[in-house]
């Protein structure tokens, strides 16, 4: 089983719908991240969390919210999806104090029609 | 804020040949980490190699090596003896060791094509 698991792997939804992307990890890392990948733009940081009580906005947080339900779980919500939120979303984790490598989930491809 | 620039949207190389992917970054910090990640068609993000800025020696991992030029803020990736399985998107990334936003800052990526 993957150390960082994202669900769903793929989702097609309609404009205005609420969508939640979920992430769980078994690596025991305290830091978790949500990134968005668009063709030609690389990966951009949406939100990150140092622990359950510490959540921070990243570069492109508008239109998104997150919840850190437990050390191992970090979910991303789109309250009212719009077509320009169509993208590949990655969850990642990192262990505090080490070299800074991120461990990624397998990605969730979201299409908003 | 730091920025990472990959100036080659796409590169092509013959199998068994050597290819170099370019990356430059902008920072005022002296301590940081640099990474190359590979994203094959499976879309999984895979760490290829990392470099600590305080280390003068260039990192190597089997067929992958970097040319880290700190003064020039350059961090290129050399792939030797290219194999078909090396075909992927490659992303250069920067991580600050100072304050500010956590996480990695990524470049826009280079699509590497391996010609058989």
pLDDT digits (tens, 9 = 90+) for B47-77: 999 999 988 899 999 999 999 999 999 999 9
Residue to mutate among A10, A23, A29, A42, with most B CBs inside 10 A, is A42
User: What is the rounded distance in angstroms from the CA atom of residue B88 to the CA atom of residue A25?
Assistant: 25
Extract the tokens encoding B64: 């992958």
Whether a cis peptide bond, with omega within 30° of 0, leads into B105 is: no
**Confidence band of B116 (pLDDT split at 50, 70, 90):** very high
User: What is the rounded distance in angstroms from the CA atom of residue B51 to the CA atom of residue B54?
Assistant: 9
What is the DSSP track for A37-62?
A: EETTTEEEEEEEEEETTEEEE-TT-T
Extract the tokens encoding B12: 């092509």
| Residues with Cβ within 8 Å of residue B106, at least 6 apart in sequence | A42, A43, A44, B4, B37, B91, B92, B93
State pLDDT tens for residues A58-67. Answer: 999 999 999 9
- Measured between beta carbons, the chain A residues lying within 8 angstroms of B4 are 42
State pLDDT tens for residues A90-100. Answer: 999 998 766 77
Average pLDDT of span B85-114: 90
State pLDDT tens for residues B12-25. Answer: 999 999 999 999 99
Give the pLDDT score at A4.
96
State percent of chain A over pLDDT 90. 85
Parallel, antiparallel or unpaired: strands A108-112 and A87-94: antiparallel
> Nearest chain A Cα to B94, which residue?
A100
Give the pLDDT score at B96.
85
User: What is the rounded distance in angstroms from the CA atom of residue B103 to the CA atom of residue A24?
Assistant: 18
Q: Exposed (0-12), middle (13-18) or buried (19+): which is B107, by Cβ within 10 Å?
A: buried
Average pLDDT of span B80-98: 93
- Measured between beta carbons, the chain A residues lying within 8 angstroms of B108 are 40-42
Residue B54 is inside which H or E element, if any? none
Cβ contact (<8 Å) for A101 and B108? no
Query: Across chain B, what does the average pLDDT equal?
Result: 93
State pLDDT tens for residues A30-54. Answer: 999 999 999 989 999 999 999 899 9
The alpha carbon of residue B17 is apart from the nearest alpha carbon of chain A, in Å, by: 26
> Nearest chain A Cα to B41, which residue?
A106
Give the DSSP letter of residue A84. Answer: G
How many inter-chain contacts (A to B, CB under 8 Å) are there? 60
Strands (E), chain A: 4-7, 10-13, 19-25, 31-38, 42-51, 54-57, 65-70, 73-78, 87-94, 103-104, 108-112
């Amino acid at each position: 089983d993957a150390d960082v698991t994202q669900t769903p792997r793929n989702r097609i939804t309609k404009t205005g719908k609420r969508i939640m992307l979920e992430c769980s990890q078994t690596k025991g890392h305290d830091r978790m991240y949500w990134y968005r990948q668009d063709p030609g733009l690389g990966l951009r940081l949406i939100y990150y969390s140092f622990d359950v009580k510490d959540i921070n906005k990243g570069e492109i947080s508008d239109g998104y919210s997150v919840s850190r339900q437990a050390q191992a779980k970090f979910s991303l919500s789109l309250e009212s999806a719009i077509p320009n939120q169509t993208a590949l979303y990655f969850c990642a984790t990192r262990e505090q104090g080490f070299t800074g490598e991120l461990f990624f989930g397998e990605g969730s491809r979201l299409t908003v029609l | 804020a730091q920025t990472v620039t990959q100036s080659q949207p796409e590169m092509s190389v013959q199998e068994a040949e050597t290819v170099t992917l370019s990356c430059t970054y902008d920072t005022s910090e002296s301590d940081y980490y640099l990474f190359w990640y590979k994203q094959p068609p499976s879309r999984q993000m895979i760490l290829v190699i990392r470099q600590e800025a305080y280390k003068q020696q260039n990192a190597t991992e089997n067929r992958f090596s970097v040319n880290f030029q700190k003064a020039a803020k350059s961090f290129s990736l050399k792939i030797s003896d290219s194999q078909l399985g090396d075909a992927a998107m490659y992303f250069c990334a920067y991580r600050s060791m100072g304050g500010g936003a956590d996480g990695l800052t990524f470049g826009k990526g280079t699509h590497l094509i391996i010609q058989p």
